[in-house]
Amino acid sequence: MPESPQALGITLTFDTNCLIDLELGAGGISHLRGLLAAHDANRITVAISAAAASERLPGGLFAPNFSAFQQRASRLSARPIILLRPLCYFDITYLDWSLLADEHLAAQEEAIHRVLFPTIEFKWRDHATKHGIQPETPAASSQKELLRWRNKKCDTLAMWCHIHYGNAVFVTRDSNFLKASKKKALIALGARQILTPSEAAALLRQG
């Protein structure tokens, strides 16, 4: 039985798809807006991994700087959204908005990666080598594979942030997070609850 928001003093982590759906009016938009209304009313707190700033925008472009992402987040709600600093990755995360990994934090991230993406190499160099790509080459073929790997890294960092900062509910419509076996393994790593927007909204109503 899920714990109620009031029992938790609940903080929800929205994944990047939640942000995109809110901007495009897609997916579980009514449920997400309901959760943001509760955030505005100080009934819950909504957080987003700052790794989302490193993902491609609708249309395929990247944010020109971190302040552009902060502006995106600020438009979601009258009350500031909490931005969670991920682990630092050169050419992916923003240096001033990330944390340097120690051995424990790196191991925690790799454990999450192994659950979410068991067929994808954890390190770009290893992944590129597996696909016969020189890791540093700017060739178009490697760029496509790099973007694919980078997307997986941002998903891993989103879950890492959720677990590291001790948030109560990870909100996503991404089926990869919601697969029963992966969900169970992520909860064992500290994810607590992983819910769709409609499930999270129902949980809020229960409280």
Among residues 207, 205, 202, 206, the alpha carbon closest in space to that of 171 is found at 202
Distance of alpha carbon 165 from alpha carbon 58, whole angstroms: 28
Q: Is residue 2 over pLDDT 60?
A: no
Q: Is residue 3 over pLDDT 60?
A: no
Q: Strand locations in 41-176, DSSP E? A: 45-49, 82-84, 169-171
Q: At what angle do helices 103-116 and 140-164 cross, to 10 degrees?
A: 110
For the chain, the structural domain boundaries read 5-206
Distance of alpha carbon 145 from alpha carbon 158, whole angstroms: 20
The pair of structure tokens assigned to 183 is 């969900």
Confidence of residue 57 (pLDDT cuts 50, 70, 90): low
pTM to 2 decimal places: 0.90
What is the arithmetic mean of pLDDT over 139-168? 90
Per-residue pLDDT of 76-113, as tens digits, reads 999 999 999 999 988 788 888 899 989 999 999 999 99
- The terminus-to-terminus CA distance of the chain in angstroms comes to 13
Among residues 118, 102, 93, 116, the alpha carbon closest in space to that of 164 is found at 102
What is the arithmetic mean of pLDDT over 178-184? 97
Among residues 94, 91, 110, the alpha carbon closest in space to that of 102 is found at 110
Can you tell me which residue has the tokens 């192994």?
114
β-pair type (169-171, 82-84): unpaired
Can you tell me which residue has the tokens 């944010």?
63
What is the arithmetic mean of pLDDT over 173-186? 97
Distance of alpha carbon 82 from alpha carbon 86, whole angstroms: 13
